[in-house]
Amino acid sequence: MARQIRKVAVIGSGVMGSGIAAHLANVGIPSLLLDIVPNQLTEEEQRKGLTLEDRAVRNRLATLALKKLQKQKPAPLSRKSHVHYIQPGNLEDDVEKLAEVDWIIEVVVENLDVKKQLFEKVDQYRKQGTLVSSNTSGISIEAMAKGRSEDFQAHFLGTHFFNPPRYLKLLEIIPTKKTKPEVTAFMKAFAEDVLGKGVVEGKDTPNFIANRIGTYGLLVTVQKMLEGGYSVGEVDSVTGPLIGRPKSATFRTLDVVGLDTFLHVAKNVHDVVDGEEKDVFDPPVFMKKMAENGWIGSKSGQGFFLKQ
Ligand code: NAD
């Protein structure tokens, strides 16, 4: 029977996971949006008399992500009512539901160990033949699949969406040597015909293509800014609307991406290159300090241009 995507599980409800679930909803595909169970109550939850066992608390992260989707600008959902295509939950309670879906997309933090642990669980609960992909910005796809079943590896590949998923057309697809050609061909056709993406097939090298080039360019820009004594505002002016880009390609982009995620992505390459390039991929101290302070952009409400 021809492969079909009738329902998807998106694991990780942060900046990208919620945006991908919204993009699926826009084309009429239902999804489960799953995150982890919080281990502390908020003040409001305490006031309401809730406990850590309550479903509302256990599903808090994904539910909150859904609420944000309806308020964000530019709008991730083409219609607010499309939010009903997305069912929030948490992986711990809903793990058996992974057997109901045709495609599982991993969109958790950019950390190999966390992703590997997650895929061990996914391998246990998915039904045979289910597609599994990672939205990693640049961690080795092969390394993530190491130790998983033959069937998992044959149906596993990288599907790297760009931020925001509704608006950026590019999708990098990264198969490994073990990905079945049928799976790569299906994903490419599905992404183009159903999701409306422009697909580029990338090699499984650190940060693939777009981030390998893009992260380098951004970090060199910042290096030159510091050497020349320019300001964040000046750099954004010359890399933004004044030269025909709708938004700045530098600091406003970092606010949208999340500085924490960007630092992980820079590290993907830093760990494997030598010489001058290693210096470039070691971001300046001010960026690391900002991340330590939690000034990581839109998701924390404080970044280069955002103020809490
Ligand atoms: P984020 O920090 O906004 O969200 C990550 C989410 O994953 C959080 O909600 C967290 O609670 C959840 N999570 C962590 N561990 C989990 C687990 N074991 N099970 C379930 N959920 C878990 O991060 P993001 O920016 O959405 O990035 C997610 C992935 O997408 C990363 O691999 C990143 O490199 C990649 N990516 C990010 C961007 C971007 O612009 N931010 C663009 C393309 C790709």
- Report CA Rg, the chain: 20
Q: How many CB atoms lie within 10 A of CB 27?
A: 13
- The CATH number of the domain where 69 resides is what? 3.40.50.720
Cα of 111 from ligand 1 centre, angstroms:
9
Q: Are 31 and 145 contained in the same domain? A: yes
Cα of 12 from ligand 1 centre, angstroms:
6
Q: Are 229 and 192 contained in the same domain? A: no
Which atom of ligand 1 is least distant from the CA of 134? 32
Question: Atom 41, ligand 1: which residue's CA is nearest?
Answer: 257
Q: Are 12 and 145 contained in the same domain? A: yes
Q: Are 72 and 148 contained in the same domain? A: yes
Which atom of ligand 1 is least distant from the CA of 265? 34
Q: Are 104 and 20 contained in the same domain? A: yes
Among 261, 296, 298, the mutation site with the greatest number of ligand 1 atoms within 8 A of its Cβ is: 261
Q: Are 31 and 175 contained in the same domain? A: yes
Residues with CB under 6 A from ligand 1: 11-17, 35-36, 61, 91, 107-110, 114, 118, 135-137, 160, 162-163, 257-258, 261, 265, 299
Domain encompassing residue 17: 8-201
Q: Where are the alpha helices (DSSP H) in 170-284?
A: 181-193, 210-228, 232-238, 251-257, 259-270, 275-280
Q: Are 158 and 217 contained in the same domain? A: no
At which of 201, 228, 261 does a domain end?
201
At which of 149, 170, 201 does a domain end?
201
The count of structural domains within the chain is 2
Give domain status of residue 109, yes or no: yes
Which residue type, as a one-letter code, is found at position 67?
K
Q: Which pLDDT tens digit goes with each residue over 120-177?
A: 999 999 999 999 999 999 999 999 999 999 999 999 999 999 999 999 999 999 999 9
Cα 192 from Cα 125, distance rounded (Å):
28
Which residue type, as a one-letter code, is found at position 258?
G
The answer to whether 191 touches 183, Cβ cutoff 8 Å, is: no
| Whether the model pTM is above 0.90 | yes
Give domain status of residue 164, yes or no: yes
Share of the chain above pLDDT 70, in %: 99
| pLDDT of res. 308 | 64
Q: Are 77 and 124 contained in the same domain? A: yes
At which of 201, 228, 253 does a domain end?
201
Q: Are 265 and 229 contained in the same domain? A: yes
Q: Are 13 and 152 contained in the same domain? A: yes
Q: Are 195 and 263 contained in the same domain? A: no
Q: Are 18 and 125 contained in the same domain? A: yes
Cα 220 from Cα 113, distance rounded (Å):
29
Give domain status of residue 298, yes or no: no
Mean pLDDT by 10 residues, the chain (308 residues): 93 98 98 97 96 97 96 94 97 98 98 98 98 97 98 98 96 98 98 98 95 95 97 93 85 95 96 93 97 95 86
Which atom of ligand 1 is least distant from the CA of 65? 9
